[in-house]
Structure 1
Amino acid sequence: MFTTRPEIAGTFGAVATTHWIASQVGMSVLERGGNAFDAAAAAGFTLQIVEPHLNGPGGDCPIILHSARTGAQSVICGQGPAPAALTVAKLKGELGLDIVPGTGFLCAPIPGAFDAWALMLRDHGTWRLRDVLDYAIGYASRGAHVVGRVAATIETVRPLFETHWPTSAALWLRGITPGALYTNPELAETYARVVREAEAASGDREGQIEAARNIWYGGFVAEAIDRFGREFAALDTSGRKHTSLLTGQDMAGWRAGTEAPLTHDYRGHTVLKCGPWSQGPAMLQALALLEGFDLAAMDPVGADYAHTVTEAMKLAFADREAFYGDPDFTDVPMATLLSAAYTEARRALIGREANNDFRPGSPDGIAPRTDYAAAIARSGALAMAAGTGEPTVSRLGASGGDTCHIDVIDRWGNFVSATPSAGWLQSSPAIPGLGFCLGSRCQMFWLDESLPNGLRPGKRPRTTLSPSMVLRDGRPWLSFGTPGGEQQDQWQPIMLTRMIDHRFGIQQAIDLPSFHSEHWISSFWPRGAKPGKLVLEGRYAPEVLAELTARGHGAEMGGEWSEGRLTGARLEADGQIFAGANPRGMQGYAVGR
């Protein structure tokens, strides 16, 4: 099969990310003797510089890793929770909101990315913090080349920055053009100061990393976030200005945690995902449903395959909406949702024709509670506003960000799959003196404490961020993931089933045309839904679109090379390492030898 580029092959190591500079940074670390955890952290901090429209230091980062030393896999939860003052009573009662804004300060959780990287580096890495951060500091101070999508994103929010977010205007409206070098000296100094203060506090590697964590969450970084949030009121998607509810005290009381991954076996492969504080289990549910179908007998770019996978996803994502939430606050019936009996009953709902109802199940007799009709209405209202020329993006900053992804395998057999995101440049006003802004993940909460994903202080919003890892015969085999919001756990099972059921390599599975549904309630402001909508990548045959439409899907053809942002790396039993990356957008690359 034709591929856009060769699948990378070697035995020493491989790095695949959503930006070629980050991939090269990660490979540089491996070449200089660092392990996969050192390499992933260095690449992750670099992504904050080269893809600022997709992630930032104030964002989030879930990580799945395999340690060759211990032989175990674990999840590092870099998803920060809601601040103490962010309550339903505050937003709904005092401020008169019926939904969490999608931009500004009210949607900001405690930023989790820095501590996730630091925790992984402390417990599994070998490099000092100075050496890991040196790459990001260098690109921030000397400049990184601007890709077209950075400049295009800035243009969409230029009026908001010029009129309402002056600190962001000062940082980002400096004549950025595609191909030019752009520097962020404020962020370079932030990281350089963290290193200086950490080294002054301790002489050993682990002590310096621990000091850096305390500096970030209890030192000058937290102080600057607290001060600016109290002093400045930011316009958000509500059309009003609000100060921040995130405080230095919130930050001082939180640290990233480590937990066991959630797993499910698919045709002899054990798939690892984050828990139900993420949407990751929806992929496991979809795979459980698909195991009852002969996907290998289906054309991987045919109508039967697209229909079957889409209908399974509809059922899995309906359960996501009805039952997933932070398990520290809500009892998620995950064992039942993945059980054979429940899966068999749900699988019987998949027929030859599309079903465009919203159909969550009733695990353990629990009645689902969702507001699908209201979500449909919100989608319609937004479409009407856009159709009448309402400048939603430019006036209110409702320019959705995306995400990054990193996969690393080293010569010792360590694996990292990480999906850093949020804190993108358009999410909230830049914090003076720090060179970055806060995230917006709390927009995913509902303003109803009784719901599984209802807002409560200290609770993690149910994130769409969803790294993946797969074991074969009990050994780590594949690390992969993608940006894409709701699409992350759609494009990933499509890639995986094409690899397992159709025997494609990584690059082949990535390059094949893909698809996504928008049938369920979106996790992002304004939390809309589009029943039955199915988007095929433009390279699909017209007859596939026609058949899916005839079966009842609200199918449409998207642009060519528009579906999927995947990267992946795998280690075979004979020691060979393979890697691939998404050619769409001409940013993602895999490297290795």
Structure 2
Amino acid sequence: MRVYILSILLICAVVTVNAQQTQKPPLHGKNWMAVTGKPLAATAGAMIFQRNGNAVDAACAMLAATCTMWDVLSWGGETQALIYNPKTKKVIAINALGVAPTGATPAFYKSRGYDFPPEYGPLAAVTPGTVGGLCYMLAEYGSMSLKEVLAPAMDMAAGYPIEAQTANMIERGKKYLKEWTYSRAVFLTHEGQEREAPEAGELFVQKDLLNTLTKLVEAEAAALKNHKSRKEAIMAAYDRFYKGDIAREFVRGCQEQGGLITMEDLARWKPQEEEPLHVNYKGIEVYKLKEWTQGPMLLQSLNILENFDLKAMGYNSPQYIHTLYQTMNLAFADRDFYYGDPAFNKNPAIQGLLRKDYAKARAREINPDHNDPLAGPGDPYEFMGKPNPYLHFLKERQDLMDTTNGRKPGGFVPKHDATLLFKPDTNLIAINDADSAYMDRLWRGTTSVEAADKDGWVVSITPSGGWLPACIAGKTGVGMSQRAQSFVLDSAICPFNVIAPGKRPRVTLTPSLALKDGKPFLCFGVQGGDTQDQNLLQFFLNVVEFGMTVQQATEAANINTNQLWLSLGGTTVKDRQPRPGSILLNTQTPAATRTRLEQMGYHLSFGDRTSGPINAIFLDARHGTIWGGSSNHGEDYGIGW
């Protein structure tokens, strides 16, 4: 009888999940779908689709628009993409992440008192990657000209009505912006007044950026006039940015403000096309970028979770939450120690990290009844038949894991994610929803661009860098990246990710694609620093295990762990250390679940929205249609036809 009742309860739970209402309607289309972080940027994608562009063309237009709108990124940032090519039936990885400049060494930063590279300013910059990534994707896989694809962004640079979110970010960051000559001139349109930033709805004009984009289009036009091909003409614009007059002004402005980037750094850098990593989860092939991103963490987590019956546990039950948390802790521990730029790795660990037998061994480490505050990296080399060359660093690392630093235990949420209020004499921590800065932090740090068309092209991009408050390089109008802060200066933290000139930092940026029966199935991405693959993992499970639509899955309540090394923010080891047992839950979490999790050793914090600003596309093979899902967090928006 008890088994029968339990079965009925589980069936009811699944029905409830499938029937849940969403705050935003799902999107439907038969020809194309464009989803991104801003309504105007989604409109830019729709404009390109309406002019018969493919999904790559539309994605590039959305990328250009979001950069122009400073949607937590700018033109000097970095671009990471996965593209499904229907002609070859393969997934392509695009690596357009910048590299550390000449002179960027651990000794340089330590001599200035840093434990990590700084969070803001010219010394946080790696070389710009977005312009090169956009040009490469468009040249190789698009169908339109650079002039056509940049037209919406150029129109916006000439003046667009700035939205409140960005305008308020400028106002809050004006202390930094006043330190940088060129940023001050662009952003503080009412300098000297009580409010120095633009007002919401004010036309925000970026003359220098428009001039830079115009130069790119002029370079393309000159090449076409000289009978160059479409691809050659686009790459002529690329050369003007990285080797010509734009590059010279970028470098001059960077170095004038104390930055390290040289002309040689720009000229040597190139975007790279790579083979993505992937694992099979219950017949679905899930693709992520290589270990220069945190993307393989999601793949590792899926491999571990295959060893558990998640559906039987029930969506967001205490045991499900506990299993997810423990799994993510193990995968993050491996991420924090073994991930980094493969070009600099003589003894890569990724082959072992993605093995199914390694995942099974890691799954056996999970205590079913209590959080493990000392969960650390495993030894993937054992499963590769090799000795681990980093065992000495693993021993050193234990000292850095000591969190007895006088702070109240638990409850830590990354800077970009929440504002906390501690409740005295309790393990519970409440998020101050009344604080207007909270939601802005939650949405900050990256955006996502998702596009698909009826011909089978599917694109997932997670661009970032150069976010506000941004240091603009000279008269280019281009904000410099802040991604150098994701490097480490100590090999004991991560021997693969120690800063060096020409090296890419290990980033949080992580586009996703999934294939089912050899055809595109899901295309998804999210912003939010270290929370990205946490939320994407749960989004994927929401669809695959619990039968949610993409819109339901983007809005569904997730959890976040902070038992990991932070990738962004803070310049000391103390700022970045893991917070064992710290968990972010939705405010609607039942009292019984809260009690059980406390008994398991967790320190609880709460937020009204915990799913992350996820954007996604579902390719409905059965009906030959395209579904879009767009987060209910903020300004994320999609258009389909």
What is the TM-score normalised by the length of structure 2? 0.84
Give distance in 2, aligned partners of 1:35 and 1:22: 16
Q: Give runs of aligned pairs for residues 310-389 of structure 1, distance below 5 A.
A: 310-330=325-345, 331-350=347-366, 351-365=368-382, 366=388, 367=391, 369=394, 371=397, 374=400, 376=403, 380=407
Contact 1:279 1:489 in 2 (8 A): yes
Match of 2:32 among 10, 13, 17: 13
Give distance in 2, aligned partners of 1:407 and 1:57: 18
Q: Establish whether residue 193 from structure 1 lines up as the match of residue 211 from structure 2.
A: no
| Deviation digits for residues 514-557 of structure 1 (CA, Å, limit 9, x no counterpart) | 22111111011323322211001223233322221221111221
Match of 2:173 among 157, 160, 170: 157
Match of 1:123 among 136, 140, 155: 140
Give distance in 1, aligned partners of 2:205 and 2:314: 47
Q: Establish whether residue 75 from structure 1 lines up as the match of residue 64 from structure 2.
A: no
The match for 1:592 is: 640
Give distance in 2, aligned partners of 1:377 and 1:246: 39
Contact 1:186 1:433 in 2 (8 A): yes
Give distance in 2, aligned partners of 1:399 and 1:535: 12
After TM superposition, the structure 1 stretch with the greater mean CA deviation from structure 2, 468-477 or 185-194, is 185-194
Give distance in 2, aligned partners of 1:573 and 1:53: 33
Contact 2:466 2:481 in 1 (8 A): yes
| Deviation digits for residues 26-85 of structure 1 (CA, Å, limit 9, x no counterpart) | 1221121000000000010000122x1510000001000011122111101011111132
Letter in 2 for 1:266: Y
CA positional deviation for 1:117:
1.0
After TM superposition, the structure 1 stretch with the greater mean CA deviation from structure 2, 360-369 or 413-422, is 360-369
The match for 2:573 is: none
Letter in 1 for 2:474: P
Q: 1:14 to 1:400 in 2, by over 3 A?
A: closer
Q: CA RMSD in A?
A: 2.4
Give distance in 2, aligned partners of 1:423 and 1:372: 34
Q: Establish whether residue 509 from structure 1 lines up as the match of residue 557 from structure 2.
A: no
CA positional deviation for 1:299:
2.5
CA positional deviation for 1:5:
2.1
Letter in 2 for 1:126: S
Letter in 1 for 2:505: P
Contact 1:296 1:502 in 2 (8 A): yes
Q: Establish whether residue 435 from structure 1 lines up as the match of residue 477 from structure 2.
A: yes
Match of 1:169 among 169, 180, 184: 184
CA positional deviation for 1:89:
3.1
Letter in 1 for 2:612: G
Q: Establish whether residue 519 from structure 1 lines up as the match of residue 519 from structure 2.
A: no
The match for 1:579 is: 628
Letter in 2 for 1:570: F
Q: Establish whether residue 250 from structure 1 lines up as the match of residue 265 from structure 2.
A: yes
Give distance in 2, aligned partners of 1:378 and 1:87: 28
Contact 1:57 1:436 in 2 (8 A): yes
Q: Establish whether residue 446 from structure 1 lines up as the match of residue 488 from structure 2.
A: yes
Contact 2:220 2:236 in 1 (8 A): yes
Contact 2:174 2:469 in 1 (8 A): no
Match of 1:408 among 430, 443, 451: 451
Q: 1:62 to 1:311 in 2, by over 3 A?
A: same
CA positional deviation for 1:508:
0.7
Letter in 2 for 1:499: V
Give distance in 1, aligned partners of 2:161 and 2:461: 22
Q: Establish whether residue 223 from structure 1 lines up as the match of residue 240 from structure 2.
A: no
The match for 1:564 is: 612
The match for 2:540 is: 496
Give distance in 2, aligned partners of 1:308 and 1:213: 47
CA positional deviation for 1:6:
2.1
CA positional deviation for 1:302:
2.4
The match for 2:13 is: none
Q: Establish whether residue 58 from structure 1 lines up as the match of residue 68 from structure 2.
A: no
The match for 1:236 is: none
Letter in 1 for 2:50: E
Give distance in 2, aligned partners of 1:399 and 1:548: 24
CA positional deviation for 1:20:
1.4
Give distance in 1, aligned partners of 2:68 and 2:587: 32
Give distance in 2, aligned partners of 1:76 and 1:58: 17
Contact 1:202 1:211 in 2 (8 A): no
The match for 1:237 is: none
| Deviation digits for residues 215-258 of structure 1 (CA, Å, limit 9, x no counterpart) | 110112211121112222xxxxxxxxxx1111111001111000
Give distance in 2, aligned partners of 1:517 and 1:399: 15
Give distance in 1, aligned partners of 2:123 and 2:468: 16
Give distance in 1, aligned partners of 2:568 and 2:405: 12
Give distance in 1, aligned partners of 2:157 and 2:314: 46
Q: 1:329 to 1:282 in 2, by over 3 A?
A: same
Q: 1:209 to 1:310 in 2, by over 3 A?
A: same
Q: 1:480 to 1:372 in 2, by over 3 A?
A: farther
Letter in 2 for 1:360: P
Which structure 1 segments of 5+ residues have no match? Answer: 233-242, 388-393
The match for 1:419 is: 462
The match for 1:263 is: 278
The match for 1:44 is: 63
| Deviation digits for residues 403-455 of structure 1 (CA, Å, limit 9, x no counterpart) | 0101101110100000010111314x222321121101111111146811111
Give distance in 2, aligned partners of 1:112 and 1:218: 14
Give distance in 1, aligned partners of 2:313 and 2:535: 17
Match of 1:544 among 593, 596, 606: 593
Question: Size of the alignment, in residue pairs?
Answer: 566
Match of 2:527 among 445, 465, 483: 483
Contact 1:379 1:530 in 2 (8 A): no
After TM superposition, the structure 1 stretch with the greater mean CA deviation from structure 2, 416-425 or 302-311, is 302-311
Q: Establish whether residue 295 from structure 1 lines up as the match of residue 310 from structure 2.
A: yes
Letter in 1 for 2:247: A
| Deviation digits for residues 91-125 of structure 1 (CA, Å, limit 9, x no counterpart) | 335x4543211111222111111111110100010
Q: 1:584 to 1:373 in 2, by over 3 A?
A: farther
For residue 489 of structure 2, give the secondary structure of its aligned residue in structure 1. Answer: coil
Contact 2:59 2:459 in 1 (8 A): yes
Letter in 1 for 2:639: V
Which structure 2 segments of 5+ residues have no match? Answer: 1-19, 190-196, 383-387, 414-418, 421-436, 571-575
Contact 2:452 2:617 in 1 (8 A): yes
Give distance in 2, aligned partners of 1:378 and 1:92: 22
For residue 133 of structure 1, give the secondary structure of its aligned residue in structure 2. Answer: helix
CA positional deviation for 1:379:
10
Match of 1:114 among 104, 117, 131: 131
Give distance in 1, aligned partners of 2:128 and 2:550: 32
Give distance in 2, aligned partners of 1:224 and 1:540: 53
Percentage of identical aligned residues: 31
